[in-house]
Chains A and B, each alone.
Chain A
């Protein structure tokens, strides 16, 4: 989606869990345990960066990873869950 600057929904908190050594999305009545690089992607969803900028930053950070194909799809899925706006 052009022009979209993803940001976490207001009730969603992205945090690192030191006890379980994992990253979490915390919502009312729900905790989502993030796997792989999900947290690296979501940390860039600050409401300022556009999807293309997020893809570029991740591509620079993880050379060779299929960032351009997978990241926009992942962001759409997270938005469908209501965790991104």
Chain B
């Protein structure tokens, strides 16, 4: 190019992208503060400080914009969203925006008056996290005494007449207890029990050696789920979120990058998924600077891995590229250092050996699960450096 003042006309400009379909769901991380310290927490290693959190007024504006953009569901999550005294106002703002609300909670702090305040504001459903069916094991995994509060919270939700779902992150320390966990869910009145095999990002990646199950454990667990589904029929829905290290098939992460949902972090940063903040150079936009409409439709961060044009390697020609979207960008980055590579969980990935080696590696008997090896989630604890992803 010889004329620095003019545009480069030697290359045609790329055609403008058609606007993407509107988002269906918004995950609102209202705070990263939490009374629990689960070693697989989906919050980032760098937790947002409370002083940087969006105010209730800012959340009201975000939710109004979200409704106009087409968001239908919001998951009010954290951390522990009940730590926000202004939670009912935020629920009310979602309701006014026509958005269906689900509270995602540890149960700690869900008293009867609080439940009634939230239900009056328009809360539609509650998802309660459970770590284990055994109270001592549950408290050990959570890193705090919380089981008794969960049991009380389930009763409070049931008494309020709201639908209750349980969310159980599965790993080596609880995969052998699925029968008991399902019994617990039924006893507590859950309509839906989500059995979500741990995904290795952030805190869970930090704790991978301790959390990674054995293949035998997983096949036993899957048999249990099949048996319990037949037995329960339609009364309780059992959802099994697959362990992608073991199947050779990548998960269709988030239903595609910037395709179905968005995450708003406590400080207003907007991400295509809760883990994406760890991707280098993403330049994540913030609702304090930009409209949600611009962020979803036009921001470089949301367009970066949208569609299939960015794909390389085996994904480029793969007939499954519209089914699994190349798997997970955060996992590709965590394991290979390059977020644009095929997810190593895919058997077709040139990096699949990394995941296979981890899945097949000998490990201690599950019965000897040792909580002292957990790096519990908490502020600043990630500075004690232990293994990051396996480097190529």
List residues of A whose CB falls within 8 A of some B CB. 10-11, 13, 15, 17, 19-20, 24, 26-29, 31, 82
Contact = CB atoms under 8 A, between A and B. Distances in A.
A31 B100 CA distance: 10
Interface of B: 22, 24, 68-70, 72-73, 98, 100, 102, 124-125, 127, 161-163, 165, 191-192, 234
Residue among A10, A28, A82 with most chain B CB within 10 A = A28
B72 A26 contact: yes
Contacts of A20: 22, 70
Nearest to B237: A29
Contacts of A29: 73, 102, 165, 192
A11 B69 contact: no
Contact of B165 (A17, A19, A28, A82): A28
B22 A19 contact: yes
Given A28-B124, A28-B192, A10 B72 contact: no
Nearest to B165: A28
A85 to B, nearest CB: 12
Nearest to A9: B163
B233 to A, nearest CB: 12
B69 A31 contact: no
A11 B72 contact: no
A15 B1 CA distance: 55
Q: Which 6 A-B pairs have the closest CB atoms?
A: A19-B70, A28-B125, A11-B163, A26-B100, A19-B22, A28-B163
Given A15-B98, A19-B22, A24 B72 contact: yes
A11 B234 contact: no
Contacts of B165: 28-29
A10 B73 contact: no
Nearest to B24: A31
B132 to A, nearest CB: 23
Given A27-B100, A29-B192, 15 more contacts: A10-B163, A11-B124, A15-B98, A17-B70, A17-B72, A19-B22, A19-B69, A24-B72, A26-B73, A26-B100, A28-B125, A28-B127, A28-B165, A29-B73, A31-B73
Contacts of B69: 19
B100 A13 contact: yes
